[in-house]
Structure 1
């Protein structure tokens, strides 16, 4: 029993660390997103003292995708993969496009495929116990409506999708950036995952302004 309890605790620590921000998801089969049942979330917003025309290209397209992912201290080895486009029935924020077929050239919303690595240190200074997570994802944007969709998939059992919205404020001199995360993780890890996801989400968004300095 003590061994099982210790194993459960270690599993919980690993999965909660993996859930930092939006960067954890589960590798899906062809049923995705039918088996996506969110059980944790996070909502947060920040104001960036730059106009929308400056902010959107960096945080809303693939131009600054790697930079804002690498604001996470555990993230590394960001790689841009193929860029294509995808057709959506209805609004982008209601869609699931990570595994959708590419649209014919000139159609749909632009979509950037990417990958990166997260390294979670269980015991600082003891690299043998580091947990290395490989992630694949897509970033899709609707520039006409200032909305983006971020979806990732990793080799750990957590799924995340994030909707980001941009709004001009203060007469166009500043931009409000708001995000809604919905994720799925194993039932036993849900309480700590929920707490850690919100904390890490806010920490990452509070660094967005550094991309414009």
Structure 2
């Protein structure tokens, strides 16, 4: 399953192999001030487990790498330091990846993480593989049952994902809804947008496997 970063990098080989782009991941001052989303996706699934079971796995750092490694091209996921961050207003409206840590005991829990996506240009020719290094933060609002996932890559892809949880089937199941907004280099946008929804739905349709 191709992720959004993978789609964008593959597109860059097709559309802009010789173009120079700005690497957003290396410029903290560029995010979120210059974050102008140009692709998006929304999807939801119902998991046949109660909210008390689902939220810790998909809404906190407890299941961070399990969720990421559902992508077949993802590897080397590492959860890093955990701190807290002050949020003014609702978490889903915030940008906290580059925000300063809050004093101990204040704010919402935030976990740093990184992983690698390997894009095979030609199967069997590993020397042509493209490795995309991604880093981000995972921030949880346990009270409101909202998760904010923010990443940037060394290939100029920035993604903000909001995950919401609510009880379904009288509490026997959990509805998980996600909205994604991302930014890629303009020449990569058409192919990224066309593939984003397919990739997003494919990944979310595997969420249930984390509870089997």
The answer to whether the superposition gives a TM-score over 0.5 is yes
Q: Which runs of 4+ in 1 moved over 6 A?
A: none
* SS at 1:201 equivalent: helix
List alignment gaps of at least 5 residues for structure 2. Answer: 1-9, 18-22
Question: Is 1:44 matched with 2:58?
Answer: no
* SS at 1:210 equivalent: helix
Are residues 8 and 96 of structure 1, via their aligned partners in 2, closer, same or farther at CA, if it must alter by over 3 Å?
A: closer
TM-aligned CA deviation for residue 8 of structure 1: 7.7
For residues 37 and 11 of structure 2, the distance between their equivalents in structure 1, rounded to whole angstroms, comes to 21
Deviation sequence 1:125-167 (CA, Å, 0-9, x none)? 1111101011110000101101010001110111100000001
Question: Is 1:82 matched with 2:85?
Answer: no
Give the conservation status (yes or no) of the 8 Å contact 2:163–2:178.
yes
Question: Is 1:129 matched with 2:128?
Answer: yes
Partner of 1:10: 13
Alignment of 1:61-76 (within 5 A): 61-76=60-75
Give the conservation status (yes or no) of the 8 Å contact 2:12–2:188.
no
TM-aligned CA deviation for residue 31 of structure 1: 3.4
Give the conservation status (yes or no) of the 8 Å contact 2:160–2:182.
yes
TM-aligned CA deviation for residue 198 of structure 1: 1.0
TM-aligned CA deviation for residue 26 of structure 1: 3.7
Give the conservation status (yes or no) of the 8 Å contact 1:77–1:116.
yes
For residues 83 and 169 of structure 1, the distance between their equivalents in structure 2, rounded to whole angstroms, comes to 31
Partner of 1:19: none
Give the conservation status (yes or no) of the 8 Å contact 1:12–1:192.
no
